[in-house]
Amino acid sequence: MTAAEVDDFIFRIFPQIWADDKRSYTIEALTPGGARVRMHYAERHLRPGGTISGPAMMALCDLAMWVVVLGHIGPLEDAVTTNLNINFLRRPAKKDLIGDARLLKLGKRLAVGDVTVYSEGEDAPVAHTSLSYAVPVAK
């Protein structure tokens, strides 16, 4: 699938990803073995203390990995996260966050990858996740 096809598929089957009639995320790139997804900054992503919340960063990572998996297996709705482990590395800026996803292994039943998260325009990562997805059998 192309980035546009994955984008269309996700927003068709998962309308909850919309917030206030705006896309919260943009798929910026989908390449063999990788993807880049942007989470658009919004006040709703902040936690007390004024930093972007852990759950918001986890959602970005989960989506970025889902994009990579869909890009390789096609439009199968039943690909689901089986594990997500996140390390928060530094406080993110109040900017868009970029999730760079990398597919490490795609097997018959399991996909494994990681996502590194950056604040827009900054070189140092703010978080890193390792994820696995259950790969459904095509119907």
pLDDT 10s digits, 36-68? 999 999 888 888 888 899 999 999 999 999 999
CATH of span 3-134: 3.10.129.10
According to DSSP, residue 22 is labeled: E
Distance, CA of 1 to CA of 71 (rounded, Å): 5
pLDDT interval class at 16 (50, 70, 90): confident
Q: What is the mean pLDDT of residues 5-30?
A: 84
Q: What is the mean pLDDT of residues 57-82?
A: 93
Please report the beta strands in the chain, taking only residues with DSSP state E, as ranges in sequence order. 18-19, 22-23, 25-31, 34-39, 80-88, 97-106, 110-119, 125-134
Q: What is the mean pLDDT of residues 101-121?
A: 96
Q: Are the CB atoms for 32 and 104 separated by under 8 Å?
A: no
User: What is the three-class DSSP state of 58?
Assistant: helix
Q: Is the dihedral of CA 128, 48, 44, 119 positive or negative?
A: negative
> Across the strands, what pairs with 125?
118
HSE toward the beta carbon, residue 101, CA cutoff 13 A: 36
pLDDT at residue 17 in the model: 75
pLDDT at residue 137 in the model: 80
pLDDT at residue 21 in the model: 60
pLDDT at residue 138 in the model: 64
Quote the mean pLDDT of the chain: 92
